[in-house]
Amino acid sequence: MLSTRLLTEKDLGEGYARKAERAQNTDDVTVIGCPELDKLGGDAATGGSLGFPRKAKVAFTYSASSTSEVSEELYSDTAQKLSDGVGQIFDAMTSCPTYQVVSGSTAIDVTTQKTAVPDLGDERWSQMLTYSAAGQRSVVKQTAIRTGNVVVIISGSPALVNAHLTKALAKAQSR
């Protein structure tokens, strides 16, 4: 069961609280300016869950800052399917350095850039995403590491992703 391999408040340390999961409606999401990402649909464009049969997800806020969040997703499938699926999404997202995501009447400008990843696991991907909408800007780091038949994806504030990546990977590898 993948959910037992997710990080907990205890793993992260003092100041973290589990965030309630929100249902995401990606039916009315359109991508403008990035054909590769548009082909993959709304889930890929908004960082929604990947389409693997076995998955688990958790998100936390960090009390020291109202905008600091970190989330973890675990997926399990064959190594090849994980590699192909995650690689396709990360390649599509970084194929266009700038694009726009429109959800309902809200337009969000997105810039992406690949970032370095520690030499962990069998395969790894990482990117920095900057979202701008209505004068507000946020930066999210997203790092995925495949180890065997499991992929761990950590997303959120860059410092929190860096701080918890190794811990998340170690726990995802535990049985």
Instruction: Enter the pTM of the model.
Output: 0.89
Tell me how far apart the alpha carbons of residues 19 and 30 are, in angstroms, rounded to a whole number.
27
**Which domains are seen in the chain, by residue range?**
21-173 (3.40.1000.70)
Confidence of residue 148 (pLDDT cuts 50, 70, 90): very high
d(CA 16, CA 71): 11
Residue 150 has pLDDT above 90, yes or no: yes
Residue type, 97: P
From the list 123, 136, 128, the residue with the least C-alpha distance to 158 is 128
Rounded Cα gap, residues 9 and 21, in angstroms: 15
Round the average pLDDT of the chain to a whole number and report it.
88
Q: Give pLDDT tens digits for 82-139.
A: 999 999 889 988 889 999 988 888 899 999 999 999 999 999 999 999 999 989 999 9
